């Protein structure tokens, strides 16, 4: 697990440019300086305007060599804890099998459920920490991780416990989401209502009691659960004080987003088949749209999410990896930025806002994360790029020079 490279918390960045991500734009400040005091950003502006007391000797000064500082990426939708591998299914899909066919034959999510049930807590923790460290080195500083590969009491709690341990031991803020209604487990085959009752009466109270998950998610789809079934889960989740979010309209239009909006969900995610009326409901309830181009790409989908409608209705668009072993084994936010532009026609500015401030909105963390503003957490990445759009354009490169989380440096390639 990463440990800070420097114990000194007061840092001054000079010779840098900033994309602060405020006011729904990149909000660029060229020839800038940025000061960090303790865990927070304490000054942001043009270097020539930097007050004298910010250059005092005790402060560690970092020369960014004209690099760009952006807020650390907020990856608001992942399934990072999993056992086993689905590379065999990847090869099956290359030969023409579809995600739904594999799922209907007991593969897909079910094969990961089997492997995750069989994995020890320790093994899951070690494997997932490596994934977290890899993401940190690529500029992700806040992460959401879902359960949902257990689908029984023991393994759902085990997954959430691993997420809780990661949040304690890794520098990233990691929010845990309970995704019990992800797929129908074999114990309840042909009895979806029975499983929904089990989620409501057994899993949800136990997850609340465990105290790690802050949100409840579900998969609303013909291969998973109906809006009526999920509504019952959300009613209980809401009464227990959880935030709500939903995998909605990924493979067909089930009207899930409209239902989740009635619970004032933080976000609805995927949304390729979202209808105009569903989008209007999301707008009316301030629900963020989380776009997941990695799953669209890996499943060779053709129906794109209604980006023009999101723009017209001013629905914040977040962009996330959806990192999981089946539909989106993509371990790179910059690659996802490229896909968001190339596959969903986002502008570079929209994609970058999606991976920062709108990702924070999708987690309800916009007060502390996702933009460069005084008082916010000093979660910052220095990039060796000529312009912010390089992060969308230079596909496959990882031009990270430095990663700071809450004022501590965890990765540093700058010769300071």
Which residue ranges make up the site for Fe ion (CB under 5 A)? 322
For residue 257, the minimal CB distance to Fe ion (Å) is 15
The residue among 40 and 327 lying less far from ligand NIG, judged by its C-beta, is 327
SS3 127: helix
Q: Are 32 and 70 contacting, i.e. CB atoms less than 8 angstroms apart?
A: no
Please report whether residue 108 would count as binding ligand NIG according to CB under 6 A.
Answer: yes
Residues 131-160 that bind ligand NIG (CB under 6 A): none
Q: Are 46 and 111 contacting, i.e. CB atoms less than 8 angstroms apart?
A: no
Q: Residue 109 binds which one of Fe ion, ligand NIG, none, with CB within 5 to 8 A depending on kind?
A: ligand NIG
The residue among 219 and 225 lying less far from ligand NIG, judged by its C-beta, is 219
Candidate ranges 27-35, 191-199, 260-268, 317-325; the one touching ligand NIG (CB under 6 A): 317-325
For residue 120, the minimal CB distance to ligand NIG (Å) is 20
Strand intervals (E) in 76-172: 140-146
The DSSP code for 225 is: B
Angle between helices 153-169 and 121-136 (to 10 degrees): 40
For residue 41, the minimal CB distance to Fe ion (Å) is 31
Rounded Cα–Cα distance for residues 279 and 271 (Å): 9
The residue among 254 and 327 lying less far from ligand NIG, judged by its C-beta, is 327
For residue 150, the minimal CB distance to Fe ion (Å) is 15
* Beta carbons within 10 angstroms of residue 220's beta carbon: 27
Q: Which two tokens stand for residue 215?
A: 């949100």
SS3 68: strand
Rounded Cα–Cα distance for residues 174 and 166 (Å): 7
The residue among 144 and 350 lying less far from ligand NIG, judged by its C-beta, is 144
Rounded Cα–Cα distance for residues 309 and 303 (Å): 14
Residues contacting 34, CB < 8 A, separation 6+: 12, 13, 16, 18, 41, 43, 44, 69, 372, 380
Candidate ranges 107-115, 155-163, 302-310, 348-356; the one touching ligand NIG (CB under 6 A): 107-115
For residue 349, the minimal CB distance to Fe ion (Å) is 25
Candidate ranges 24-32, 104-112, 150-158, 389-397; the one touching ligand NIG (CB under 6 A): 104-112
The residue among 219 and 410 lying less far from ligand NIG, judged by its C-beta, is 219
Position among 131, 231, 245, 247 found at the interface with ligand NIG (CB under 6 A) = 247
Which residue, judged by CB position, is nearest to ligand NIG in the bound state?
326
* Beta carbons within 10 angstroms of residue 129's beta carbon: 18
Candidate ranges 2-10, 122-130, 159-167, 322-330; the one touching ligand NIG (CB under 6 A): 322-330
Q: Are 36 and 407 contacting, i.e. CB atoms less than 8 angstroms apart?
A: yes
Q: Are 31 and 48 contacting, i.e. CB atoms less than 8 angstroms apart?
A: yes
Element (H, E) at 70: strand 60-71
Q: Residue 108 binds which one of Fe ion, ligand NIG, none, with CB within 5 to 8 A depending on kind?
A: ligand NIG
Please report whether residue 219 would count as binding ligand NIG according to CB under 6 A.
Answer: yes
Please report whether residue 112 would count as binding ligand NIG according to CB under 6 A.
Answer: yes
Nearest to 408 by CA among 17, 36, 15: 36
Q: Residue 326 binds which one of Fe ion, ligand NIG, none, with CB within 5 to 8 A depending on kind?
A: ligand NIG
SS3 389: coil
Q: Residue 217 binds which one of ligand NIG, Fe ion, none, with CB within 5 to 8 A depending on kind?
A: none
Q: Residue 155 binds which one of ligand NIG, Fe ion, none, with CB within 5 to 8 A depending on kind?
A: none
The residue among 132 and 291 lying less far from ligand NIG, judged by its C-beta, is 291
Strand intervals (E) in 147-283: 173-181, 213-220, 243-248, 267-270
Position among 36, 80, 81, 109 found at the interface with ligand NIG (CB under 6 A) = 109
Q: Are 100 and 383 contacting, i.e. CB atoms less than 8 angstroms apart?
A: no
Where does this chain bind ligand NIG (CB under 6 A)? 79, 108-109, 112, 219, 247, 250, 295, 322, 324-328
């Amino acid at each position: 697990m990463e440990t800070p490279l420097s114990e000194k918390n007061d840092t001054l960045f000079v010779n840098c440019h900033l994309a602060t991500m405020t006011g729904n734009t990149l909000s660029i400040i060229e020839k800038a300086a940025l000061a960090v005091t303790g865990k927070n950003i304490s000054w942001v502006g043009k270097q020539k305007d930097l007050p004298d007391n910010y250059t005092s000797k005790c402060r560690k000064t970092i020369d960014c060599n004209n690099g760009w500082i952006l807020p650390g990426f907020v990856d608001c939708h992942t399934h990072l804890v999993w056992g086993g591998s689905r590379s065999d299914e990847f090869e099956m899909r290359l030969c023409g099998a579809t995600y739904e066919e594999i799922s209907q034959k007991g593969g897909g999510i079910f094969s990961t459920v089997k492997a995750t049930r069989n994995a020890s807590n320790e093994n899951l923790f070690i494997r997932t920490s490596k994934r977290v460290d890899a993401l940190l080195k690529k500029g992700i500083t806040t992460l959401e991780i879902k359960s949902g590969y257990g689908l029984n009491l023991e393994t759902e709690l085990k997954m959430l416990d691993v997420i809780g341990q990661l949040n304690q031991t890794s520098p990233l803020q990691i929010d845990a989401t309970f995704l019990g209604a992800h797929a129908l487990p074999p114990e309840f085959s042909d009895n979806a209502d029975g499983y929904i009752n089990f989620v409501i009466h057994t899993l949800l109270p136990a997850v609340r009691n465990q105290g790690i998950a802050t949100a409840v998610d579900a998969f609303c789809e013909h291969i998973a659960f109906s809006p009526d079934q999920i509504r019952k889960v959300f009613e209980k989740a809401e009464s227990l004080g959880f935030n709500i979010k939903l995998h909605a309209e990924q493979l067909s239009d089930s009207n899930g987003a409209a239902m989740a909006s009635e619970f004032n969900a933080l976000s609805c995610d995927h949304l390729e088949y979202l209808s105009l009326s569903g989008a209007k409901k999301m707008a009316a309830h301030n629900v963020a749209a989380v776009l997941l181009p990695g799953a669209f790409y890996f499943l060779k989908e053709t129906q794109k999410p209604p980006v023009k409608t999101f723009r017209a209705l001013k629905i914040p668009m977040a962009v996330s990896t959806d990192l999981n072993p089946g539909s989106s084994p993509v371990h790179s936010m910059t690659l996802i930025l490229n896909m968001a532009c190339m596959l969903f026609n986002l502008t570079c500015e929209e994609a970058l806002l999606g991976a920062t401030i709108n990702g924070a909105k999708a987690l309800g963390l916009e007060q502390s994360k996702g933009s460069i503003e005084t008082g916010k957490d000093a979660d910052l990445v220095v990039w060796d790029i000529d312009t912010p759009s390089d992060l969308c354009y230079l596909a496959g490169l990882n031009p990270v020079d430095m990663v700071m989380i809450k004022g501590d440096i965890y990765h540093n390639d700058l010769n300071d």
